């Protein structure tokens, strides 16, 4: 039996209650379809110990930590030194998710922007990639990323990218990466697929954002890391590529951005 091409779920939330008591089976199902690594994201720093414990308990799991923009006003403001200290853990591989969300929480735009800049500073100082959530805030997002990058370079992925072509181009011009979620596999997402198809292939990642946004044929159900394979197969079609070649390219892209994961695996 031929092993499936290996891919990485670059963004999921394995600490959410949806997965309680099921992680060994979920990780096994992911491995069976080629999803051999995953980055689970801490969205509130008070939850970092629990997220870290998941990464420590499961070899394929790495983690990132930050304050989600929708929680920026209700949680204590992250501190740069706090994020830098967390980043010393060998399996803590990214800063965030952070960003701007004006769709649900526009009233906290000012504190979201302040939080975003703190996370950018931490990403710059740790050399870990920044993980960005952007929704209904394209202009401010483009402005802040551009301003901050001019103050000092940092690496970044626009997670679950579903914004405008203009924001995509700004991110790409800054050397950032775009991540394809299950949204890109929805039948009515042709315009979004066109944005990705116009992007450089070496800047593309894939993810689930599990438990959310399950791709077909699981749309409307709980998402899980193994479903990255469905998104990646549709993405390969978008780029007119053989699936194995597309999977290999996204692995190379992930290792280039998440260098700490690549080095961790090399040392293991």
Please tell me whether residue 208 adopts helix, strand or coil conformation: coil
| pLDDT tens, residue by residue, 135-151 | 999 999 999 999 999 99
pTM to 2 decimals? 0.97
CA distance 252 to 245: 11
CA distance 162 to 256: 23
Percent of the chain with pLDDT over 90: 98
| pLDDT tens, residue by residue, 103-143 | 999 999 999 999 999 999 999 999 999 999 999 999 999 99
- Residue ranges covered by each domain of the chain: 7-262
| pLDDT tens, residue by residue, 64-105 | 999 999 999 999 999 999 999 999 999 999 999 999 999 999
Backbone angles phi, psi at 165, to 5 degrees: -65, -30
Backbone angles phi, psi at 22, to 5 degrees: -120, 0
- The dotted CATH code for 7-262 is 3.20.20.140
Provide the pLDDT for residue 268: 57
């Amino acid at each position: 039996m031929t092993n499936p091409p290996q891919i990485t779920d670059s963004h999921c939330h394995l600490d959410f209650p949806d997965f309680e008591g099921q992680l060994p089976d979920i990780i096994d199902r992911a491995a069976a379809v080629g999803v051999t690594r995953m980055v689970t994201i801490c969205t509130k720093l008070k939850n970092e110990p629990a997220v870290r414990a998941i990464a420590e308990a499961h070899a394929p799991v790495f983690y990132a930590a930050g304050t989600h923009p929708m929680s920026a006003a209700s949680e204590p403001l992250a501190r740069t030194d706090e994020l830098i200290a967390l980043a010393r853990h060998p399996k803590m591989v990214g800063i965030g998710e952070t960003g701007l969300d004006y769709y649900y929480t526009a009233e906290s735009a000012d504190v979201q922007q302040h939080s975003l800049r703190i996370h950018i500073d931490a990403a710059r100082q740790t050399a870990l990639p920044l993980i960005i959530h952007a929704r209904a805030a394209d202009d401010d997002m483009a402005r802040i990323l551009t301003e901050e990058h001019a103050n000092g370079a940092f690496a970044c992925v626009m997670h679950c990218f579903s914004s405008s072509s203009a924001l995509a181009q700004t991110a790409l011009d800054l050397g950032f990466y775009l991540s394809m979620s299950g949204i890109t596999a929805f039948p009515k997402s042709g315009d979004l697929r066109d944005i990705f198809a116009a992007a450089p292939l070496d800047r593309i990642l894939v993810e689930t954002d599990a438990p959310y946004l399950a791709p077909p044929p699981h749309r409307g159900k709980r998402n899980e890391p193994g479903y990255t394979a469905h998104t990646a197969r549709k993405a390969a079609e978008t780029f007119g590529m053989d699936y194995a070649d597309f999977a290999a390219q996204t692995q190379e892209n992930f290792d280039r951005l998440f260098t700490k994961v690549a080095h961790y695996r090399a040392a293991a």
